[in-house]
């Protein structure tokens, strides 16, 4: 089960390790997803796929330490489910972001029809045709199939310069990009509410035109795991690869 495709160099101390299963297993089908949730695992079993490639952790912390909270019943039951069905889960986080161009970013731009505005030189920031924040929100909801998202800023504000940081990059990286690139709108997956969201709130209260769109972590990176099928399938022609969207954990009430 060695992934030789992509000419990737080994990344030291990577979190991209097997979370269940063993390297000797014979792969008979692959599922890509954001999170190997219990629902995703059950769907993989139905598909007869025994290898799940998940972008984010399986056991609820960055290094998938199953003992982070001792005697965790949810962790135990999930590990048992994987063992019972002999499913291997491999996290593909550091590697997928190291592919040039970043498969997650590329998948996002493809899904939002913004690939045409992307130049390999601009790492995060692209310039789009004029639109209001409201129109941009509608576009993102429609193309990414997002029922609800969160916004800080004026919905009538013009948005041309857009900085994209899918996932949960953290306040430091999000605010550094916002200061350095001066976008009209920063689009992220997830924020710490007390950091980036408050920064944008105060910026608006100071009269600045700066908007923040918070898509949800899964919604922001799932297009990357969907596009990963297209990237990987030609390299493994004998194995069926299917994308299953894990969706977001929240109910909106
Ligand atoms: Zn990511």
Please report the beta strands in the chain, taking only residues with DSSP state E, as ranges in sequence order: 18-20, 30-33, 51-54, 88-91, 125-127, 150-152, 161-165, 185-188, 211-214, 241-243
Residue with tokens 């310069």: 161
User: Is there a contact between 218 and 247 (Cβ–Cβ < 8 Å)?
Assistant: yes
Instruction: Output the CA 191–ligand 1 centroid distance in Å.
Output: 14
CA 42: distance to chain centroid? 21
Instruction: Output the CA 71–ligand 1 centroid distance in Å.
Output: 29
**Residues β-bridged to residue 214:** 150, 188
Q: How much is the pLDDT for 64?
A: 97
Instruction: Output the CA 157–ligand 1 centroid distance in Å.
Output: 29
Total count of residues recorded for the chain:
253
CATH code for the structural domain at 18-99: 3.40.1390.30
CATH level 2 (architecture), domain 103-218 = 3-Layer(aba) Sandwich (3.40)
Same fold, 18-99 and 103-218: yes
CA 230: distance to chain centroid? 16
Instruction: Output the CA 137–ligand 1 centroid distance in Å.
Output: 21
Instruction: Output the CA 249–ligand 1 centroid distance in Å.
Output: 17
Buried b (16+ CB within 10 A) or exposed e, 119-132: eeeeebbbebeebe
Report d(CA 22, CA 127) in Å as an integer. Answer: 45
Report d(CA 14, CA 92) in Å as an integer. Answer: 10
- DSSP per position, 20-48: ES-TTPPP--EEEESS--HHHHHHHHHHT
221 is in an annotated binding site: yes
Residue ranges per domain, the chain?
18-99, 103-218
One digit per residue, pLDDT tens: the chain, 253 residues? 444 456 678 899 999 999 999 999 999 999 999 999 999 999 999 999 999 999 999 999 999 999 999 999 999 999 999 999 999 999 999 999 999 889 999 999 999 999 999 987 777 899 999 999 999 999 999 999 999 999 999 999 999 999 999 999 999 999 999 999 999 999 999 999 999 999 999 999 999 999 999 999 999 999 999 999 999 999 999 999 999 999 999 999 9
- The number of helices, as runs of H, and strands, as runs of E, in the chain is 8, 10
Report CA dihedral (59, 15, 44, 80) to the nearest 10 degrees: -40
Q: How much is the pLDDT for 119?
A: 85
Token pair of 44 as six digits: 């993989």
**Residues β-bridged to residue 18:** 90
55 is in an annotated binding site: yes
Report d(CA 147, CA 68) in Å as an integer. Answer: 33
Q: Choose among 56, 118, 121: nearest CA to 90.
A: 56
């Amino acid at each position: 089960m060695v992934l030789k495709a992509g000419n990737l160099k080994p990344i030291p101390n990577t979190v991209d390790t097997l979370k269940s299963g063993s390297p000797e297993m014979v792969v008979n089908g692959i599922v890509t997803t954001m999170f190997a949730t219990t629902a995703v695992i059950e769907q993989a079993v139905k598909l007869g796929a025994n290898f799940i490639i998940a972008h984010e952790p399986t056991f609820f912390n960055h290094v998938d330490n199953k003992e982070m909270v001792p005697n965790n019943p949810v962790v135990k039951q999930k590990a048992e489910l994987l063992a019972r069905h002999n499913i291997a889960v491999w996290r593909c986080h550091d590697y997928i972001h190291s592919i040039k161009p970043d498969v997650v970013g590329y998948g996002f731009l493809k899904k939002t029809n913004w690939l045409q505005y992307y130049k390999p030189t601009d790492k995060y920031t692209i310039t789009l045709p004029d639109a209001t924040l409201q129109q941009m929100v509608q576009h993102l909801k429609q193309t990414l199939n997002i029922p609800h998202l969160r916004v800080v800023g004026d919905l009538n504000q013009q948005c041309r310069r857009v900085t994209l940081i899918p996932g949960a990059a953290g306040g430091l990286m999000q605010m550094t990009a916002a200061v350095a690139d001066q976008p009209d709108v920063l689009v992220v997956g997830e924020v710490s509410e007390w950091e980036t969201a408050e920064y944008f709130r105060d910026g608006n209260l100071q009269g600045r035109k700066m908007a923040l769109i918070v898509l949800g972590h899964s919604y922001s990176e799932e297009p990357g795991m969907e596009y990963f099928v297209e990237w990987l399938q030609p390299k493994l022609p004998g194995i069926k690869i299917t994308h299953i969207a894990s969706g977001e954990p929240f109910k909106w009430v």
